[in-house]
Structure 1
Amino acid sequence: MLNSGLSSSLWLFSQNYVEAYKNQLNHLPLVEIDEQWPSSCIVSQFDEQFNTWLPHKVESTLSFENVEKALDVELHTDICQYFTTIFSDSIAANCEHGELSLLFAWSEEDFARLQENIIGHILMKRKLKQKITVFFAITDDENFILSIDNADGSVWVEGIGCEPHKKLADSLNEFIQQLTPFVYQGDHPK
């Protein structure tokens, strides 16, 4: 069963990120121009190096059925919903535990790549005889990711190749509601 609260929280957070970005830098979020990586998120060209972009609601029917069938596993509905609600570049955020970047598919083509990465992650978990998790964010420490426990949908910090070790929230919706947007100003023109 789909969690409409999660979809609403994701969309609201993405819009709050855009507003924070515009308030701090006086323009829409930027992404490097890459003709090989088109997306419905792209709004316009900002300069020779960057395009402006906005999160875009997924209007096509994206599904993890192929992943579930290939791995003979049923993914938690929050995992499926998280990755099929919006197309977006990664979105930087802060939580009480530090900085992170929420990962999303940039386009339908990127969604296929994301599915391959999730398959690889689950196969690694099985090989290590660990419970199944699915990543959805990276942290400011490259050795740790944020993941969703496939059994109950809880949100955890886990070291790469390790069991989750620190529970952050009982659900993804609860976790998203705790976040505040973070606008990184390092690489982008002001």
Structure 2
Amino acid sequence: MSLAESYQNFIEQTLSWHQQHNLTLQAWSADPATAAPCQLAVLDEHQVSWQPVKQQPPADFSNVEQALELELHSDIKQFYSLFYGAGLGASHSRGMLQLLMVWDQADLARLQENLIGHILMKRRLKQPETVFFALTDDDSIVLSVLNHSGEVYLEAVGKDVSEKLADSLAAFFSQISPAAYQGV
């Protein structure tokens, strides 16, 4: 199964899970009056409901690649360019996590700046280049894709990748199930 198919399947499972548990996907919005593409409704002054929506057009990472003189792994570019959203909670055998998503174009620009900073830090530390894609319930541990191989690892911030979780993002999606995530 392709990454796009496995991610779409996980999103469908997540939406179904939320419906079964009578839950609404909610996010804090700095300005609920300026709707993001995935925003459904304003719930209160700074809270909105949302639903994943396909990016049109997909995000472009050529600026990041040019700045770093590096080609990002195709899985990570595809992951961040498929859907707008506020992040999806999930459960993995190693714990709870939140898949990162791009909320709108301004958020995409912030993500790209953070990716550049992360990769520059990895280079300074003389560690393999990684790209983060999920947060865990431990602030010092993220889930990352090893850029040269596409493998998914646990990564302690500032440290080398430590524990391989999957051969690819598509394979990783088969290891997780929908869950409410309160860590962020």
* 8 Å contact kept, 1:22–1:29: no
Assess, with a 3 A threshold, how the Cα gap between structure 1 residues 163 and 88 changes in structure 2: closer, same or farther: same
- 2:104 is aligned, of 107, 121, 132, to 107
Assess, with a 3 A threshold, how the Cα gap between structure 1 residues 42 and 158 changes in structure 2: closer, same or farther: same
- Residue 150 of structure 2 is matched in structure 1 by 153
Q: TM-score, normalised by structure 1?
A: 0.89
> How many angstroms does 1:49 deviate by?
4.8
Q: Number of residues paired by the alignment?
A: 183
1:29 correspondence with 2:28: no
Q: Secondary structure at the match of 1:46?
A: strand
- Residue 52 of structure 2 is matched in structure 1 by 55
Moved more, 171-180 or 49-58: 49-58
* 8 Å contact kept, 1:20–1:183: no
1:68 correspondence with 2:65: yes
Q: Secondary structure at the match of 2:66?
A: helix
Name stretches of at least 5 consecutive residues in structure 1 with no aligned partner.
Answer: none
1:77 correspondence with 2:69: no
Distance 1:115 1:184 in 2: 24
Distance 1:87 1:49 in 2: 18
> How many angstroms does 1:27 deviate by?
4.6
Assess, with a 3 A threshold, how the Cα gap between structure 1 residues 47 and 118 changes in structure 2: closer, same or farther: same
Q: Secondary structure at the match of 1:157?
A: strand
- 2:134 is aligned, of 137, 140, 144, to 137
Amino acid at match of 1:28: T
Distance 2:136 2:29 in 1: 25
1:169 correspondence with 2:166: yes
> How many angstroms does 1:34 deviate by?
2.8
> How many angstroms does 1:23 deviate by?
1.6
Distance 1:141 1:62 in 2: 28
RMSD: 1.9
> How many angstroms does 1:129 deviate by?
0.6
Q: TM-score, normalised by structure 2?
A: 0.92
Amino acid at match of 1:30: Q
Distance 2:182 2:72 in 1: 36
> How many angstroms does 1:50 deviate by?
2.6
Distance 2:129 2:65 in 1: 12
Distance 2:177 2:52 in 1: 16
1:122 correspondence with 2:119: yes
Amino acid at match of 1:32: W
> How many angstroms does 1:32 deviate by?
2.6
Q: Any idea what the Cα deviations from partners look like across 1:70-119, whole Å, max 9, x if unmatched? A: 11001110010000010111111001111111101111111111000000
* Correspondences of 1:8-23 after superposition (within 5 Å): 8-23=5-20
Runs of 4+ in 1 over 2 A off after TM superposition: 45-50, 184-187
Distance 1:54 1:154 in 2: 28
Moved more, 32-41 or 133-142: 32-41
Q: Any idea what the Cα deviations from partners look like across 1:127-169, whole Å, max 9, x if unmatched? A: 0011100000111111111000001100000111000010000
Amino acid at match of 2:28: E
* 8 Å contact kept, 2:18–2:25: yes
Name stretches of at least 5 consecutive residues in structure 2 with no aligned partner.
Answer: none
